[in-house]
Amino acid sequence: MKRIVVLALFIFATGCAARAQDVVGDWQGTLKVGASELRLVLHITKGDDAGLKATMDSIDQGANGIPISSISLNDSKLSFTSAAIHGSYEGTINKDATEITGTFTQGIPLPLDFTRVAKRADGQHKTAKPSDIDGAWAGVIDTGTAKLRLVFHITTTEDGLAATMDSPDQGVNGLPVTAVTRNASALKLELKQAGAVFEGKVDENLTTIDGTWSQGGGSAPLLLKRAKDSVQLERRRPQIPAKPYPYRHEDVSYPSEAANITLAATLTIPPGKGPFPAVLLIAGSGRNDRDESLPTFGHSPFLVLSDYLTRKGIVVLRADKRGVGKSGGDYATATTSDFASDVKAGVAYLETRPEVDHYKIGLIGHSEGGVIAPMVASTDPGVAFIVMMAGPGVPGEDIIVEQTLLIAEAGGESHDEAEKAAAEERKILTLVEQGKDNAELAKALREVLGDKVPEATINAQIKAISSPWYREFIQYDPATALRKVACPVLALIGEKDLQVPPNQNLPAIRKALEASGNKNFEVDELPGLNHLFQPAKSGAPSEYGEIELTISPIALEKISSWILKQPPRN
């Protein structure tokens, strides 16, 4: 079975220019997606804090009131982003504040210009007498890397059947279905904006719709069942803390002077006098917020980790990455080295807090964060210890090839098929390492991939592997910094981690630390745990969302007890 491309969906967020009052109002534009044209209406109003807030309508898809997740206004630049859909927009407002010219990016950049409108456009359908399939239908699709729940809400209107789709594990609700076709028991649901189609048959008892989901050149079976209430759609996450917390929590900000930006974060402080040992949490790769939220899987590892450690008497600082959430800066141009400079800024901030024991400030890095922690500790004398959670010990290119092989096998492919996938990944990495410019790289990548994947997917992959972050990540050797780390180190990798395999990385970490002359380090493989440190069956990413626990209590206890035993730095 071909792997399915994870849904490419549309939701938006806004930012503005000049003065807030210049952009308050309604703006309409047209987004061209392949052969489709989607009319969008942006409604901007004043926020409670003298800023701006907004919603979006997609007229041709029948979606009204799409929430805008963030908004900023700088000079004549309007920017909006969506954490849920990972889409972003940047535009320039003309001097008369009548037009906005810009680009919407979600995988690939697309031109999107807005014009001020005097009257709100209305694309709503009027409802009619319900049909026998009106209601919510829920199912689970295996994308090859994750299992995602999909929920279709079908209604009857004066114009015929209409529907919207939710993807709860991606934090998406109300995505319009562009076409609904029913012929007797056959039902077809099209989502042109995602390049996806569901075709199935309604059973005679009207309780299931058994069919196939097709997207991005791949397909997978999808069985939809009637969902009677919202409880059926909820996933249990027993470790997510509930307010009121038994400790102080503050939203804070501090400068990262190297980039001339401000980072936004949350600081949690145990009850009592202190001063307390403190840690800064460093997230893995991707547009991670301070909780390292994983909407696809419904987990927030850093929220759970922060809560646990604070209850154990440790101050915890966790920040939105630059260009994410409320932090300033440009995520798209940032590299691992840039994120390391932001971590140094976080250490400097902790040193200003009276609740913190300034001789016991440490770093906890997960995945890529486990690369960053040694980078910082090797040069910053203010770091007293580091914890590497699934941190690599070998260069990124080796990690990517090995995880491609292991995840393919875990997904049901034969060893030979997985070897071919890994070899193809190695070819792509070699192209990047050859230092080709983006145009040459794009041409070479098309020759490698040929007609195996759609053009839009090739464009998205070209953009991803051409980024400054990717180019640095695949070539950087973590052992370089590990050989210079003098402070205590705890390095943990789960036995079933397929993204940072323990057999590949733990020996390399141990060898580098031994070469450093460091006498206070511990390198452990934790039985039965995956890349997120959950108790797992196979370790495949497709299991992450199915597992109720966010982080194994065994891992949490090991980390906290080790930290509390560490002596103050010299």
pLDDT of residue 57: 76
**Residue 558's pLDDT is what?**
98
Contact 388, 524 (CB under 8 A): no
Return the CATH fold of 252-395+477-565.
Rossmann fold (3.40.50)
Quote the CA–CA distance of 448 and 148 in Å, as a whole number.
30
pLDDT at 96: 78
Nearest CA-CA partner of 272 in 317, 312, 303, 307:
312
**Spatial distance between the Cα atoms of 99 and 93, rounded to a whole number of angstroms:** 6
Q: What is the pLDDT of residue 168?
A: 75
> With the CA atoms of 514, 517, 521 and 526 taken in that order, what torsion angle do they form, in degrees rounded to the nearest 10?
-10
Q: Do domains 20-117 and 252-395+477-565 have the same CATH topology?
A: no
What the block records as the tokens of 564 is 């509390």
Q: Could you tell me if 1 and 412 are in contact, meaning their C-beta atoms sit under 8 angstroms apart?
A: yes
How far lies 262's CA from each of 27, 257, 287, 324, 328, in Å? Answer: 30, 8, 17, 11, 5
pLDDT in tens, 48-105: 666 788 777 776 655 666 677 777 777 778 887 765 555 677 888 888 788 888 887 7
Q: What are the residue ranges spanned by the domains of the chain?
A: 20-117, 135-233, 252-395+477-565, 397-473
pLDDT of residue 124: 52
Q: Cα separation of 214 and 511, whole Å?
A: 47
Span 497-520, pLDDT tens digits: 999 999 999 999 999 999 999 999
pTM exceeds 0.85, yes or no:
no
Q: Which residues contact 503 (CB under 8 A, 6 or more apart)?
A: none
Position 306, amino acid: S
Distance CA 441, CA 437 (A): 6
CA distances from 127 to 60, 79, 227 (A): 17, 35, 21
The CATH number given to 135-233 is 2.40.128.120
CB distance 481 to 374 below 8 Å: yes
Burial class (CB in 10 A: 0-12, 13-18, 19+), 447: exposed
Distances (CA, A) of 522 to 486, 492, 507, 514, 535: 13, 8, 12, 11, 21
- Cis, bond preceding 244 (omega within 30 deg of 0): yes
Residues of the chain with pLDDT under 50: 1-20, 119-123
- Class (C level, CATH) for 20-117: mainly beta
Using CB atoms within 10 Å of the CB of residue 126, give its burial: 0 to 12 exposed, 13 to 18 middle, 19+ buried.
exposed
